[in-house]
């Protein structure tokens, strides 16, 4: 029985190497792209793929690296024709609102618990009879501050997520195009495994 237990323990400890993959997985991420060439002509769409010398822009929404859309019109543009690129992730406002709400809830609840219970008001100091009416426990404060913090921070996160975009000045230079390509690929591929 001990041998079976040791065998199972060895398999569980080495399971990550058993199911390892040679390739990394793409995140389901989509980028809105606005490309300006040297004639100040702007091309807008969704970033489809990127290789070492060109990018492919789709006219229809799609995830980065997803080439299953056959009826979408693609436009391939070489780096030597690129003056500037503006990239914006889709659904930035929703993602920002969710992150902001969670952070606001945690910070507000922590502040409420740290503040603690309100002290009792003695009858000799209760001039108007409202001494115990507005007394709050730490849980009450945590709930109120958590909800209000989530509301405020979700609005701030949505606002930040709406206006977040990254501009790359390529200028037809391969080095700057490679920097932009590495930045996009870092965001598109999962490295948290």
Q: Which fold has domain 31-91+165-188?
A: SH3 type barrels. (2.30.30)
**pLDDT of amino acid 12:** 60
Domain spans in the chain, listed from the N-terminal domain onward: 31-91+165-188, 92-161
Q: What is the dihedral of CA 62, 73, 68, 61, to 10 degrees?
A: 10
**pLDDT of amino acid 30:** 80
CA-CA distance, 132 to 120, in Å (whole number)?
A: 7
Residue segments in the chain with a per-residue pLDDT below the cut of 50: 193
**pLDDT of amino acid 97:** 93
CA-CA distance, 162 to 90, in Å (whole number)?
A: 9
**pLDDT of amino acid 193:** 43
Say if residues 117 and 138 touch (Cβ distance below 8 Å): yes
Q: Which two tokens stand for residue 77?
A: 């543009």
**pLDDT of amino acid 191:** 56
Instruction: Indicate the pTM of the whole model.
Output: 0.63
Tell how far CA 150 is from the center of its chain.
Answer: 17
**pLDDT of amino acid 152:** 95
């Amino acid at each position: 029985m001990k041998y079976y237990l040791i065998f199972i323990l060895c398999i569980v400890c080495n399971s990550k190497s058993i199911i390892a993959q040679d390739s990394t997985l793409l995140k389901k991420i989509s980028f809105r792209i606005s490309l300006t060439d040297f004639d100040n002509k702007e091309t807008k769409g969704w970033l489809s793929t990127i290789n070492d010398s060109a990018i492919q822009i789709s006219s229809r929404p799609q995830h980065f690296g997803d080439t299953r859309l056959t009826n979408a019109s693609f436009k391939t543009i070489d780096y030597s024709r690129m003056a500037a690129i503006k990239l914006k992730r889709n659904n930035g406002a929703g993602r920002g609102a969710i992150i902001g709400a969670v952070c606001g809830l945690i910070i507000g609840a922590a502040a409420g618990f740290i503040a603690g219970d309100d002290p009792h008001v003695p009858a000799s100091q209760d001039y108007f009879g409202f001494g115990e009416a507005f007394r709050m426990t730490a849980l009450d404060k945590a709930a109120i501050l958590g909800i209000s913090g989530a509301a405020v921070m979700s609005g701030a996160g949505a606002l930040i997520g709406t206006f977040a975009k990254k501009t790359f000045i390529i200028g037809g230079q391969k080095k700057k195009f490679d920097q932009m390509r590495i930045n996009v690929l870092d965001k598109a591929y999962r490295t948290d495994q």
